[in-house]
Amino acid sequence: MNFSHIEHIGIAVKNLDYSVKQYEKLLGIKCYAIEKVEDQNVRTAFFKVGNTKIELLEPTSKNSPIYKFIEKRGEGLHHIAFHADDVNNALMKISGLGFNLIDKSAKEGAEGLRIGFLHPKSTNGVLIEICGEK
Ligand code: ZN
């Protein structure tokens, strides 16, 4: 696969408002968007660092995968997202390479982007997201 860049790095947090202040202080920039992603039961906040974004994720319900993640492992690094021009095409190719997918096809993510996740079992315990405009 040829990914152009790391689109974002996802960090699971318990309290988004507190965490936004912390990262604004650390990065010296303002969070440029806060958005609810109903599909994932999360509230997200974005920062831009060069070509890569930092995405803070706060669970909005106990059904949220982020809620389960924090229960199990605590707050912290949750996923790395690579940018692909065509997410469905990338997922198909990655599956063809023998990786296990969580999402067989792209779904709606934050910022109106298409996203799909790989199963961390085939990527050394790291949750990988493919993310792009279509
Ligand atoms: Zn993400």
**Which tens digits make up the pLDDT trace of 96-122?**
999 999 999 999 888 889 999 999 999
pTM, full prediction = 0.92
Ligand 1 center from residue 53 Cα (angstroms): 9
For residue 23, being part of any structural domain is answered with: yes
pLDDT at 20: 98
Ligand 1 center from residue 127 Cα (angstroms): 10
pLDDT at 39: 80
Ligand 1 center from residue 97 Cα (angstroms): 22
For residue 1, being part of any structural domain is answered with: no
Ligand 1 center from residue 1 Cα (angstroms): 19
The pLDDT of residue 56 is above 90: yes
For residue 92, being part of any structural domain is answered with: yes
Burial annotation 33-72 (CB, 10 A radius, 16+ → b, else e):
eeeebeebbbbbbbbeeeebbbbbbbbbeeebbbbebbee
pLDDT at 2: 84
Residue-number span of the structural domain to which 91 is assigned: 6-132
- Number of domain units in the chain: 1
Contacts of 2 (CB under 8 A, 6+ apart): none
Domain at 52, CATH number: 3.10.180.10
For residue 97, being part of any structural domain is answered with: yes
Give the pLDDT confidence of 3-54 residue by residue, as tens digits.
999 999 999 999 999 999 999 999 999 999 999 988 889 999 999 999 999 9
